[in-house]
Structure formats: C-alpha cells, structure tokens
C-alpha cells in the first residue's frame, strides 16, 4: 500500500452524521489550548498609519512563510486590534523577527493603550517604516491581501526588502512564556 492509499475507504457521511459532526466543535478555549502547546517565533509588525501619519506596531506569533517565489509571508491580526484601522489601509509593513534579548520589546508591543515605541530603540527606513534595532532579521513588504477569517484578518505580504545580517538567538513563545532555543539545536 502506498502512502496515498487508505487501508479502507472513508465511510460516506449521511445527513445525520454530517449534522452531528457539525454540532461537535472545539470551544475557543479548547482551541487556544492547542496552540499554547505549539512554540512560535516572535515578531513585531510595524507600519506607518497612512491617515494619521503615526507609527503603529504589534506583536505577532502567527507569521508564516507562504511562498519563496514570489516571496510571500502572512500573519493574522484580530479585527478588534487597536492596530487594525491603520493596517487596514497601510500599503507596506515591516516584520521584525525578534531575538531573545528583545522580550521587553515583545511585551511592549503586545500591550494596549501605551505608546508602543516609547523606550524601544528603532530607526526608520527611507520609505518611512520603523525597524526595531536589534531585530535578528526584518523584512519589508507590500500588503497584497487582507482576508477576513473568523474574528481576524489574514494579511499576506509580498516581501521586497530584508536584512538578515544580525546573529543571535531567536525569541520563542510557548505556553504563555518566552523561551530561547538552546545552543545545541540544529535544523
């Protein structure tokens, strides 16, 4: 039997079974518990609000690589996020991938109701977007899509510029705590 073949065919779902399957759903808390057990790299997405002309940023652990050619990445953001109004119109963003020594920056950009850039060293690119000083790597991109999904938006970004020259240990978020990869990890 090949990897593509099933030992036996899947049974067809009748209308009653489909309805029962539809009724059985994970609660939001059950679903969150699943992803608390999944370690994720930590990034801060930064941009310039095109209307207010202010700097905006937020912590994201949902960043994924979608395609290498063309270079596309994606992340999600809650529709209720204070950053969403600016992000909903911003033509470009920078995704800053944080190092372990940047826990305070991650916490700052995850806090509502504060000036998230206050006390966090950064510089602005010639195009205006802020880049966090000390980020292990960053990528600037053009927002390609904003897709409503559940209570969030999935944002896809076409990467156009990056800098991966800094060495360091990546910041990891797992089970509501920050971690660093040990020196013995290998991919």
Task: Please indicate, yes or no, if residue 142 is contained in any of the structural domains.
Answer: yes
Residue, of 56 and 37, whose pLDDT is higher: 56
Q: Per the structure, how many domains does the chain have? A: 1
The string of pLDDT tens digits covering residues 43-102 is 999 999 999 999 999 999 999 999 999 999 999 999 999 999 999 999 999 999 999 999
pLDDT score at 90: 98
Phi, psi of 98 (to 5 degrees): -85, 150
Tokens of 121: 């060293």
User: How far is Cα 109 from Cα 7, in angstroms, rounded to an integer?
Assistant: 49
Task: Please indicate, yes or no, if residue 118 is contained in any of the structural domains.
Answer: yes
pLDDT score at 130: 98
The string of pLDDT tens digits covering residues 24-36 is 899 999 998 998 8
Task: Please indicate, yes or no, if residue 29 is contained in any of the structural domains.
Answer: no
145 and 73 Cβ atoms separated by less than 8 Å: no
Residue, of 15 and 52, whose pLDDT is higher: 52
**For the domain that residue 101 is a member of, what is the CATH number?**
2.30.110.10
């Amino acid at each position: 039997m090949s990897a593509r073949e099933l030992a036996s065919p899947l049974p067809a779902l009748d209308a009653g079974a489909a309805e029962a399957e539809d009724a059985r759903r994970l609660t939001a808390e059950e679903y969150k518990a699943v992803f608390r057990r999944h370690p994720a790299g930590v990034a801060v997405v930064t941009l310039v609000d095109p209307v207010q002309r202010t700097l905006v940023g937020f912590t994201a652990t949902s960043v994924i690589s979608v395609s290498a050619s063309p270079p596309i990445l994606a992340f999600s953001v809650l529709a209720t996020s204070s950053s969403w109004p600016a992000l909903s119109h911003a033509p470009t963003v920078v995704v800053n991938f944080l190092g372990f020594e940047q826990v305070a920056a991650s916490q700052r950009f995850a806090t509502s109701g504060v000036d998230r850039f206050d006390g966090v060293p950064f510089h602005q690119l010639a195009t205006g977007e802020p880049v966090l000083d000390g980020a292990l790597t960053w990528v600037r991109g053009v927002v390609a899509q904003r897709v409503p999904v559940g209570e969030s938006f999935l944002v896809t970004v076409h990467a156009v510029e990056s800098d991966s020259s800094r060495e360091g240990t990546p910041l990891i978020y797992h089970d509501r705590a920050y971690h660093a990869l040990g020196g013995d990890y290998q991919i």
